[in-house]
Amino acid sequence: MPTILIIDDEAGIRYIGRMVFGQHQWAVIEAENGEQGLQMLAVHHPDIILLDYRLPDMLGSDWLCAAKKISQSPVVLVSASSELATLSHHPRVAAALAKPFRLEKLWETVQGVLSTPAQGSVTVKTDPPPGRGR
């Protein structure tokens, strides 16, 4: 059973993660800020991390630097920032997902990262504007 660590200050995003990954029998660990996320990472060693770029206590880039001493788990960066494509070029970021996202896109992105043996390229996933089909 895979384990995912969801680090996001938005309770709704953590809830969505519990719902999406829980229905696939994944273990879901949550943190609402960067420091708590680092603690959870050290204790649980998840298979993958879903990381909000803008946390209340640190930026995702700072979190990634601190986390590299603890774990090499792949990271899916999520952000509503228009700079997501630029932010996602950190060497630890395996994929990036723009907020808001569809549940199917979240699942596909995480599954894609876990099924890819080498993490050399980054994919930024965005949803089409409302009313524009899939």
Is 37 in contact with 81 (CB distance < 8 Å)? no
Query: Can you give the pLDDT at residue 129?
Result: 41
User: Is 131 among the domain residues?
Assistant: no
**Residues of the chain above pLDDT 70, percent:** 87
Model pLDDT, residue 117: 63
11-25, 41-55, 74-88: range with lowest mean pLDDT: 74-88
pLDDT at residue 131 is higher than 60? no
Per the domain annotation, does 9 fall within a domain? yes
Query: Residue 133's pLDDT is what?
Result: 45
Q: What is the tens place of the pLDDT at every residue in 72-108?
A: 999 999 988 777 777 777 788 999 999 899 999 999 9
Four-point Cα dihedral 55, 98, 45, 107, nearest 10 = 140
Edge-to-edge order in the sheet of strand 124-125: 27-31, 3-7, 48-52, 75-79, 93-98, 124-125
CB 7 within 8 A of CB 29: no
Number of compact structural domains in the chain: 1
Residue 80 lies in a domain: yes
78 in any annotated domain: yes
Q: Which CATH number is 108's domain given?
A: 3.40.50.2300
Global pTM reads: 0.84
3-state secondary structure of 131: coil
Q: Identify the band that residue 122 occupies on the pLDDT scale cut at 50, 70 and 90.
A: very low
Task: Domain of residue 117: give its range.
Answer: 3-125
